[in-house]
Amino acid sequence: EHIPEIDLILGGHEHEDYFLARGLQYIPITKADANAFTVYIHRCAFNVDTKQLRIYRTLTQINVK
């Protein structure tokens, strides 16, 4: 809310994954699990005509092979 130019906040090490939407604009805050067990994959699309940013996110498990 204090910095309206921020559209996405990416976090680091947590012991559990989570997705939060905070503030009046529902800014997404995502964190994956500890030790690279999972990662969030973010795909961003900006519409140049409407000036709208869309963020698509997927929490993906990392598989060791």
* pTM greater than 0.75 (yes/no): no
**Mean pLDDT, the chain, integer:** 81
Is pLDDT at 65 greater than 70 in this prediction? no
- Integer Cα distance of 50 and 33 in angstroms: 35
Stretch 29-56: mean pLDDT, rounded? 87
* 2-23 per-position pLDDT tens digit: 777 876 666 666 678 888 888 8
Q: How far apart, in whole angstroms, are the C-alpha atoms of residue 1 and residue 40? A: 23
Residue 9: name the closest of 23, 24, 28 by CA. Answer: 28
